[in-house]
Amino acid sequence: PFQIGDVVDLGDLRVEVLGVDQEGGGPSSIRYEFSERLKAERYLWMVWNGNHYEEWAPPAVGDEVVLTSRPGIFE
C-alpha cells in the first residue's frame, strides 16, 4: 500500500502521493512534476475515452486538470 508523502523520483519525472484510497491502499491523488515543459515535443499525451485512446493537451502553467477513472481499459 501507498502512504501519503511517498515519492518516486525517475530523474525527469517526480511523482508524489497526495492521497490514498482507504479500501485498496492505492493512490487517489498524485502530483507529477516534470523536468521539461509538458508541451515539449518529446511527450505525446493520450487519454482513454472509454473505448480507445485519443490525444490530450495538458493544462497551461498554473492551471489544474482532474482526470477521472473511465471504465473499459482495466476491467
**How far, in Å, CA of 62 to CA of 71, rounded?**
29
Domain boundaries, the chain: 7-55
Q: Do residues 4 and 18 make contact, with C-beta atoms less than 8 angstroms apart?
A: yes
State the pLDDT confidence band at 34, using cuts at 50, 70 and 90: very high
Give the pLDDT of residue 11: 95
Q: Which of 14, 6, 7 is nearest to 32 (CA)?
A: 14
Mean pLDDT, residues 25-53: 89
Q: What is the pLDDT of residues 44-67, one digit of tens each?
A: 999 888 888 999 998 888 888 888
Which tops the pLDDT comparison, 26 or 10? 10
DSSP-assigned beta bridge partners for residue 7: 16
pLDDT of residue 38: 87
The continuous run of DSSP H or E covering 13 comes out as strand 13-20
pLDDT band at 70 (very low <50, low <70, confident <90, very high): low
β-partners of residue 33 are: 14
